[in-house]
Chain A
Amino acid sequence: MVFFFAWPLGQMIFRSFMDPTPGLDNYVRFAQTPSGVRSLFETLGMSALVTIICAVVGYVYAYAVRFASPRIAAVLLFAVLFPAGVNLLVRTFALQVVLRDTGIINQLLLRIHLISEHLTLIRTETAVALGMTCMLLPYMVLPVYSVMRGINPEYIQAAAGLGARPIVAFARVFLPMSLPGLYAGGLIVFVAGLGFYVVPQLLGDNAGGRFLSQYTADYMAQAEWGYGSAIGTILLLVTLTTLATAARVLKVGEILRQSFGGAR
C-alpha cells in the first residue's frame, strides 16, 4: 500500500513545490489562471450537482426496489447494475449518439414536426450532468438499498399503529434510518465525480465547463510535471477535506459499517 499509493503521491506533492524551481510558483500560477480556477469550480460544482441528482433519483429507485415484489426487485437491481458492467467509454459514446444535433432525439422530434430547429442537448452542462448521473447512479442506489433492507418494516407499522399518517411515518421513522446509506452513496458519487474526464470531454462544451482533468491533460502532455502535480495536489486536498469534513459531521466510519457490514 505504501509503495503503490503513498510513494507516488508523495512524489507528486514534492514535485509540485520543486519543479521547475523550489517554492509556491506552481500554485500561484494556478491561482492566477482564470481557466484553471474555473475548471476547479466547474469540477466541484458539477460533482455536487450530480451527487444531489443521484441522491434524489437513487433514493426513489432504491425505495422502489426495497418494497417491490422479489421478482420485480431483482429486475430493477439488474437494470441498475447491468449498465455499470458496460465500459464507460461505450456508454458515453452511446449518449453522444442520442443527444447530438443529428442524434436520435433531435431526428425523431424533427421528423414528427414537434420542433423545427434542433434542440441544443449536447455540449451543455445538462448533458454532462445527465451523463455523469448515468455513470454514477449505481453507486448511490446500492448503499441506500443496502441500508433500507436493514430497516425493519415493523417500525413503520408501529408508527402507523400509533396514529402516524404514512407520510409522517416515512419522514419521521424510515427516512432518518436510511440516511446513512444516502451519506455513504453521496460521498462515493462526489469523490468519483471529481475525477471524471471522458464524460465532460465527449458531452460537455469543452470551453467554459472543462473539468480539471481536461485542463491538466494539456499541461501533462507538455511535460509540465510541476504544474500538473500542483493541480493534482489541489484536487487531492479538496477531496481529503471533503472526506474529513464528512467523516466528522456524518460519522462516516459508522455509516460505512452499517452500509456494507450488513446491519440487520
Chain B
Amino acid sequence: MSRARGGGLVSLLVAMVAVAGCGGGGGSSASTPSSSTKELVVVNTGGDWGACQRKSFFDPFTAKTGIKVIDGPFLTDGQIKAMVQSKQYNVDVVYPSANLALPSAGKNSLEPIDYKVVNKAELAAGTYTTYGTSIDIYAWAMGYRTDKFGGQTPKTWADFFDTKKFPGKRAMPGDNDVPAVLYAALLADGVAPDKLIPLDVNRALKKLGTIKSSIVWYATGSQGQDLLKSGEVAMGQEYANRVTSLRDAGSPVDISWDGQVVAGDLMGVPKGDPNVTAAMQFIAFVTSKDVNGTFSFCAAGAPSNVKSTPNPKIANDLPTTHLNQTHVVETSEALAEYVAAHLDTITTSFNNWRSS
C-alpha cells in the first residue's frame, strides 16, 4: 500500500519478505482451483493500517464467504511482473501502481477487473481502471510545523516554495513518487491542475531548483513523517494521514489540503491467477457501499465508494472531504496514462537534475 511503499529501502525489505513468503502459506492457495477457493492471499503491509484492513475487510469477507484471507507481502510492479512470468502465484490480490493498471500496461500482467461483479458506478472518478480498483483513497498533502513561522500559516504550494516568508527545510518524496513532486512544483508555479499534461518536466525542475538546497529527499512515508516530527524540516510533501496522525499525537504540525495530490490504492489480480474468481469477489466486497466506509473507523483512509459512509469523526482528515479545493488526481487515467508512457524520461531527467 502506498503509505508504506518506498522507492528503495522498503521495497528491498519487502522483496526479501516476498522471497521468504514464497515457501509459506502463500503457495497453498495458488494450487487450489478457482471453483473451490478456500484461501485467498491479499497484500497486507502491516502496522495500524494493516490491522484495520484485517478488521474491516479481511475478517468480514471470511465471515460472509467462508474463504480465509491470508496476509501477503507488498509487491512492486517489477515483482508482480516477475510473478506472472514465472507463474508462481504467491499473492492473489496485489497493489499495482496506477501505471501498471492501465489498459496499455496491464494486459500482460493483470486480469481485467470484472466490472459485472465490481460496481464501478459507485466509485469515485479517477479511482478505477481496466486492471485496478481503488480500495481506498489517500493523498500527498502539505504538512507544516506550527512552531516555526511566528504565527503565519502556509496554505499553498507557492508558500511551500517561498523560503523567505517560511524559512526552513522541505521534505519531498523524491525516492518514492517523482511525479507527485513535479505536480507540486508546477502547481506552485501557477499551472492549473487540468493543464498539467503534457507534463512540463523542465519547468517543474526549474521551480524545484529555486529551493533545491533546502529540499530533503526521502523514500518512505515513515521517513517523511519523522523529518517533520523531529523538526528537521519546517514543511513537507507528506502522506496526509501521516501528518494528521502526528498532529493527533500532539506534535506541533498541521496540514494544508490546497493542491493535494489524490490517489487511489489500486487492487488488482495477477494475470493467470488460479483464484481469480474469488479475488474479484473480494474486490467487489471491499469496495461495496456497506463495507468500504468501515475502514475509516480504524484508519484515516477515505472510502473510494462515494455511496458509503465514512467515520464522521475524521471526516475533516479525509482527502475526499477537500476535493472542493485545488487538487490533482494522480490515478486518473489521463494522468497515469501520460506518466506511464514517459516514466523513463521523467525519472531520468529528475535524477540527472537532482545529482547535478
Does B associate with A? yes
List A residues at the B interface (Cβ < 8 Å).
33-36, 38-39, 100-102, 123, 197-198, 201-202, 205-208, 210, 213-215, 217-225
Smallest CB-CB A-B distances: 10 pairs? A223-B78, A217-B8, A35-B351, A206-B217, A35-B355, A35-B352, A221-B76, A223-B81, A102-B231, A207-B354
Contact count A vs B, C-beta below 8 Å: 86
List B residues at the A interface (Cβ < 8 Å).
7-9, 11-12, 76-78, 81-82, 169, 174-175, 212, 216-219, 223, 230-232, 343-344, 347-348, 351-352, 354-356
Residue of A nearest to B354 (CB): A207
Asked if B77 and A223 make an inter-chain contact with CB atoms under 8 angstroms apart, the answer reads yes
Please pick, from B8, B81, B231, B348, the residue contacting A201 in the complex, using a CB distance under 8 A. Answer: B8
Chain B: minimal CB distance from A31 (Å): 13
Asked if A197 and B9 make an inter-chain contact with CB atoms under 8 angstroms apart, the answer reads yes
13 inter-chain pairs at a CB distance below 8 angstroms, sorted by A residue, are A33-B348, A35-B352, A100-B232, A101-B232, A205-B217, A206-B217, A206-B219, A207-B354, A208-B354, A218-B175, A220-B78, A223-B82, A225-B78
B-chain residues with CB within 8 Å of residue A36 when the two chains form the complex:
351
Q: How far, in whole Å, are A101 and B233 apart by their CA atoms in the complex?
A: 9
Asked if A221 and B11 make an inter-chain contact with CB atoms under 8 angstroms apart, the answer reads yes
Chain B: minimal CB distance from A226 (Å): 12
B-chain residues with CB within 8 Å of residue A225 when the two chains form the complex:
78
Please pick, from B12, B223, B355, the residue contacting A217 in the complex, using a CB distance under 8 A. Answer: B12
With A197-B12, A201-B9, A218-B7 in contact, do A102 and B230 touch (Cβ < 8 Å)? Answer: yes
Q: How far, in whole Å, are A100 and B226 apart by their CA atoms in the complex?
A: 12
Q: How far, in whole Å, are A137 and B279 apart by their CA atoms in the complex?
A: 50
Q: How far, in whole Å, are A197 and B169 apart by their CA atoms in the complex?
A: 24
Q: How far, in whole Å, are A175 and B59 apart by their CA atoms in the complex?
A: 68
Q: How far, in whole Å, are A219 and B348 apart by their CA atoms in the complex?
A: 10
Asked if B355 and A38 make an inter-chain contact with CB atoms under 8 angstroms apart, the answer reads yes
B-chain residues with CB within 8 Å of residue A202 when the two chains form the complex:
223
Residue of A nearest to B9 (CB): A201
